[in-house]
């Protein structure tokens, strides 16, 4: 009996990643330009105009304080949006059947979409960081932690996007989670403030928000300031990756939303 070799899996995986990257580069005007414009507006309005009146936060100018959160916000949104829209549109056009009838194992399908989404998230993160340098100085406290958080956050939200797309039956369904779940979690995840400013109760609530750990750890990597223990934050990110991966792979093996 023949079985799929590592070489075969690598070819299938790299084909899928190449296809995903080609997709978001082909429609760059929709995928790469808007986040840059959005983040520039955040820097101008919140960082520059309002930030000057706020002064310092956790020992840094307000502009410097919000840069990591804004960069990560762009990363999260794009990693999620890439997978949810790509996977769902393939489901909608039924071109996902190209993959489903092929011998590509489910975990390779999952890895291909997640890496494709993470690639867009990371690319946007790099572009957003370059834009940020025009508004604030360059800071890098710990590049290892910064990159680890960047990659893990992209993966977590790419997995989230995949799960959303698996369940989605119509285009409305892929907008519900970003609008009603993702955006509130990002805004309440400490992008614009330190949770030390919140009452005790809301500080406790913030700890069940996964985005809080990402923003806090990412800010630590760049500025060296944090509201929580960094090892704990990274461990929480890994837990989210494991939980979401396990859930997504079960859905793929069951064929939920894909096979009759």
Partner 1 sequence: MTTAISIKDLHKTYSNGFIALNGISLEVAEGDFFALLGANGAGKSTTIGIIATLVKKTSGIVEVFGSNVDNNSYETKLDLGIVPQEVNFNHFEKVFDICVTQGGYYGLPRKLAEERSEKYLKQLGLWDKREQQGRQLSGGMKRRLLIARALIHEPRLLILDEPTAGVDIELRRSTWKFLQELNRAGTTIILTTHYLEEAESLCRNIAIIDKGEIVENTSMKALLKKLDTETFILDCRDDLQGLPTLDGFDLVQIDNHSLEVTLDKNQDINEVFKLLDQQDIKIKSMRNKTNRLEQLFVSLLQNSANRAATTQEGRS
Q: Pick the stretch among 7-15, 160-168, 215-223, 229-237 that binds partner 1 (CB under 8 A).
A: 7-15
Q: Does 92 bind partner 1 (CB under 8 A)?
A: no
Q: Pick the stretch among 45-53, 88-96, 113-121, 206-214 that binds partner 1 (CB under 8 A).
A: 88-96
Nearer to partner 1, 61 or 100 (CB): 100
Residue pointed to by tokens 């025009």: 134
Hey, what are 190's tokens? 């400490």
Hey, what are 136's tokens? 């604030």
Cα–Cα distance, 11 to 2 (Å, whole number): 17
Instruction: Say if CB 25 and CB 78 are below 8 A apart.
Output: no
Q: Residue from 53, 94, 170, 201 that binds partner 1 (CB under 8 A)?
A: 94
Q: Does 46 bind partner 1 (CB under 8 A)?
A: no
Nearer to partner 1, 19 or 141 (CB): 19
Q: In this structure, what DSSP letter does residue 134 have? A: H
Cα–Cα distance, 106 to 127 (Å, whole number): 32
Mapped onto helix, strand or coil, the DSSP state of residue 199 is: coil
Scan residues 236-255 and list those touching partner 1 (CB under 8 A): 255
Cα–Cα distance, 135 to 124 (Å, whole number): 17
Work out how close the CB of 78 gets to partner 1 at its nearest, in angstroms, rounded to a whole number: 19
| 56 phi and psi angles, rounded to 5 deg | -100, 155
Work out how close the CB of 162 gets to partner 1 at its nearest, in angstroms, rounded to a whole number: 18
Q: Residue from 95, 231, 246, 256 that binds partner 1 (CB under 8 A)?
A: 95
Number of residues that bind partner 1 (CB under 8 A): 32
Q: Does 1 bind partner 1 (CB under 8 A)?
A: yes
Cα–Cα distance, 176 to 103 (Å, whole number): 33
Nearer to partner 1, 96 or 132 (CB): 96
Q: Does 207 bind partner 1 (CB under 8 A)?
A: no
Residue pointed to by tokens 């893990």: 152
Hey, what are 77's tokens? 């949104």
Work out how close the CB of 116 gets to partner 1 at its nearest, in angstroms, rounded to a whole number: 13
Q: Where are the alpha helices (DSSP H) in 45-105?
A: 51-54, 62-93, 96-100
Cα–Cα distance, 104 to 260 (Å, whole number): 19
Q: Does 29 bind partner 1 (CB under 8 A)?
A: no
What is the distance in angstroms between the CA of the first residue and the CA of the last residue of the chain? 28
Contact pattern from residue 101 through residue 140 relative to partner 1, giving x for each residue in contact according to CB under 8 A and a dash for the rest: xxxxx-----------------------------------
Nearer to partner 1, 104 or 191 (CB): 104
In the complex, which residues of this chain contact partner 1 (CB under 8 A)?
1-5, 7-8, 11-12, 14-16, 18-19, 22, 26, 90, 93-95, 97-105, 255, 259-260
């Amino acid at each position: 009996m023949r079985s799929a070799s590592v070489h075969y899996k690598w070819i299938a995986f790299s084909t899928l990643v190449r296809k995903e990257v080609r997709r978001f580069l082909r429609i760059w005007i929709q995928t790469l330009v808007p986040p840059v414009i959005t983040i520039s507006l955040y820097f101008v309005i919140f960082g520059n105009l309002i930030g000057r009146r706020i002064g310092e936060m956790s020992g840094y100018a307000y502009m410097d304080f919000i840069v990591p959160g804004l960069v990560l916000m762009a990363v999260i949104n794009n990693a999620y949006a890439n997978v949810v829209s790509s996977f769902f549109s393939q489901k909608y056009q039924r071109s996902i059947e190209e993959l489903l009838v092929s011998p590509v194992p489910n975990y390779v399908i999952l890895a291909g979409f997640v890496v494709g989404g993470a690639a867009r998230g990371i690319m946007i993160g790099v572009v957003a960081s370059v834009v940020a340098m025009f508004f604030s100085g360059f800071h890098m406290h710990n590049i290892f932690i910064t990159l680890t958080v960047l990659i893990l956050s992209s993966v977590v939200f790419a997995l989230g996007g995949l799960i959303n797309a698996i369940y989605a039956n119509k285009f409305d369904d892929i907008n519900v989670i970003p609008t009603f779940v993702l955006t509130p979690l990002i805004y309440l995840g400490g992008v614009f403030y330190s949770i030390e400013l919140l009452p005790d109760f809301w500080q406790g609530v913030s700890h069940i928000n996964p985005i809080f750990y990402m923003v806090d750890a990412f800010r630590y990597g760049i500025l060296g300031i944090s509201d929580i223990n960094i090892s704990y934050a990274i461990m929480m990110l890994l837990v989210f990756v494991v939980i979401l991966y396990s859930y997504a792979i079960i859905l793929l093996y069951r064929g939920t939303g894909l096979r009759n």
